[in-house]
Structure 1
Amino acid sequence: MASTETHTNCLRCGRKLTSPRSIAAGYGPTCGRHIRRATVDLSEYKPHQIASARDLIEDAAIIPLRGHVFTTISTDGTETYLTHPTNCTCPAGRQAVRCYHQLAARLLLAA
């Protein structure tokens, strides 16, 4: 009999996720705790950018690609961007403005 169990991997460490809560979050409990406790200099960002970066991580809309590069999904889900802690291909990032995608990448890398 074939197994119909759906599984995904943690977006931070790559380990297999088995609990429904972890699968929904995209992170295991330990990685989630590390991300929540990560300290990054937030002085360069506005409060709404900080909230958006945390939402991006909670929604598992930022996915490690390779090295320090991530794929991020736009707020409305229609576009994807390549994001690095210092650069992003989103409209704000192309204008050399710090965006919340970059902050989310910084938070994940600090964890």
Structure 2
Amino acid sequence: MQNTTTHQHTDCLRCGRTLTSARSTAIGYGPTCARHIRNAAVDTSDYKPHQIASARELIADAAIIPLRSTVFLAVSTDGTETYRSAPTACTCPAGLKGSRCYHQLAARLLLAA
């Protein structure tokens, strides 16, 4: 048997305001911040389509949270590991090899919003 828990956020992960709707507490962002993140203008030409989709999914799942001004804590795809990620670097296996990973793109999207 696998224990699955979901975390309900009480404050927006982007601006820190109190979340009031059930949908907002489930995703971790208020409607205005979610719209800003969706519409963030970031150059994604150097990322593959699956990386863009993974970055957007990471944000939608509230699996990337801010630690400091440009540093984020990102959860791995299977949920077993966490990585420190910034727009230019990441501690995931791909990031340690010098490759661009979707954690970095998610950080760029959040900072551009």
Q: CA deviation at 1:7?
A: 5.8
Instruction: Provide, for residues 45-99 of structure 1, a one-character-per-residue CA deviation record: whole Å limited to 9, x for no partner.
Output: 0000000000000000000001100000000000000000000000000000000
Match of 1:102 in 2: 104
Give the alignment's Cα RMSD to 1 decimal. 1.0
Structure with the larger strand share: 1
Larger gyration radius, structure 1 or structure 2: 1
- Could you tell me how far apart the structure 1 residues matched to 2:61 and 2:18 are? 18
The structure 1 residue matched to 2:43, chosen from 38, 41, 44, is: 41
Alignment of 1:18 onto 2:20: yes
**In the aligned structure 1, how far is the partner of 2:101 from the partner of 2:52?**
10
Find runs of 4+ consecutive structure 1 residues off by over 4 angstroms. Answer: none
Equivalent residues of 1:7, 1:18 under 8 A apart: no
Alpha-carbon displacement from aligned partner over 1:8-44 (angstroms, at most 9, x marks no partner): 1101011111110100111000000000000100100
* TM-score normalised by length of structure 1: 0.93
Report the equivalent of 1:3: none
2:71 pairs with 1:69: yes
Trace 1:79-98 onto structure 2 (pairs within 5 A).
Answer: 79-98=81-100
Which residue of 2 is the match for residue 52 of structure 1? Answer: 54
Aligned equivalents of 2:86, 2:67: Cα separation in 1: 10
Q: Structure 1: where are the runs of 5+ without partners?
A: 1-5
Aligned to 1:77, the other structure's residue is in SS state coil
Give the length in aligned residue pairs: 106
